[in-house]
Amino acid sequence: MLKKIFLICLVATLFSCAEDDRREEEIANIAVELDVQRFDQRFARATADSLPALKRDFSFLFPRQYPDILWVEKMNDTIQLELNKAVANEFPSLKKTEQDLESLFQHIKYYFPERKIPKVITLTSDVDYRNQVVWADSLLLVALDTYLGMDHPLYAGVQDYIKKEMRKEQISVDAAEAFAQTVVPRPGSRDFLAHMIYYGKILYLKDLLVPFKTDAQKMTFLPEEMAWAEANEDQVWRYFVERELLYSSDSDLYTRFLYPAPFSKFYLELDAEAPPRLGQFIGWQIVKQYMEKNDVSVEEMVQKDGGTIFKQSNYKPQK
């Protein structure tokens, strides 16, 4: 009997892998027009004389209330010059990033064919790590000075948990998240569970849109942090259930388990070793199990309320 069950599972797994391979082959053949414009390079070379032409080509980056003299001063600012040099050294070419973004856009066109592919503009942002990527309808703005690498000297004063997000391999992941946020509606409930599943939907969309990235990269985790989350999924879930946190509307839970931080806050000795945003991780597992057990489209999942997803997922954590 056990041998028969094993064979059934093996056949199902092989069939699923073959189906995934066929889907990825189809996606790879989708034509997308990748338009990347390096405003960072144009601004680094700009002068007072060339400023009018730069403003004409990138008018959306020059608010009208700021006079030209401010932009000229910025061109010659020592910090800006240092940023220009750092970006030029780290991103002399965007070949790998462009490949990742092209694949992301192909996946978006496959799952959301009505969505338009944006023009990509790379720039510097005075290391504004809170806005590394901005998806604005027809534009995708990427601040390259926030992706210079965890150990870059310019990030000496930045906390370690934020530096993890400042790696170039995260650009397409962050772009996928920025897109997902335009698709997934904000939860209508303040319940902790509803917000966990909101982030779970975004992470599930990352599974679909950037399958070439690791689960750790999708969570913006280091590999050892991902290993900890996977090994302790059952314990984290038990903590949430035993303390009756799922339907709590205490917004402090968002800070403790959903938002970027050095670690998740259980108020236990294990806090120092627990990665942040474990509520997002659990929400992701709930959404994945929901999609495995229910015949629904991606669009239907995105619109489904968190309570229904949880009930119909029959979620069981990995032990």
Sign of the alpha-carbon torsion through 249, 250, 254, 257: negative
Please tell me the predicted confidence (pLDDT) of residue 1.
57
DSSP, res 319: -
Give the contacts of 67 (CB within 8 A, at least 6 positions apart): none
* Number of residues that this document lists for the chain: 319
Please tell me the predicted confidence (pLDDT) of residue 19.
79
* Beta-ladder partners of 141: 121, 134
CB 261 within 8 A of CB 253: no
Domains of the chain, by residue range, sit at: 36-171, 192-313
Place of tokens 């590999």: 223
Nearest to 313 by CA among 179, 196, 225, 160: 196
Amino acid occupying residue 126? D
**Which residues in the chain belong to E strands, given as ranges?**
36-38, 119-123, 133-136, 139-143
| Helical segments of 29-168, H only | 39-45, 51-57, 68-75, 78-90, 95-111, 160-163
Please tell me the predicted confidence (pLDDT) of residue 21.
85
Please give the Cα distance from 27 to 11 (Å, whole number): 24
Q: Which three-class secondary structure state does DSSP give residue 185? A: coil
Please state, as a whole number, how many other Cβ atoms lie within 10 Å of the Cβ of residue 136: 12
* Beta-ladder partners of 136: 139
Please tell me the predicted confidence (pLDDT) of residue 315.
98
Please tell me the predicted confidence (pLDDT) of residue 89.
98
Nearest to 142 by CA among 202, 100, 183: 100
> pLDDT tens digits for the chain (319 residues)?
555 544 544 444 555 567 788 999 999 999 999 999 999 999 999 999 999 999 999 999 999 999 999 999 999 999 999 999 999 999 999 999 999 999 999 999 999 999 999 999 999 999 999 999 999 989 999 999 999 999 999 999 999 999 999 999 999 999 999 999 999 999 999 999 999 999 999 999 999 999 999 999 999 999 999 999 999 999 999 999 999 999 999 999 999 999 999 999 999 998 999 999 999 999 999 999 999 999 999 999 999 999 999 999 999 998 7
Burial 205-228 (b: 16+ CB within 10 A, else e): bbbbbbeebebbbbbbbeeebbeb
CB 112 within 8 A of CB 32: no
Please tell me the predicted confidence (pLDDT) of residue 16.
55
CB 160 within 8 A of CB 90: no
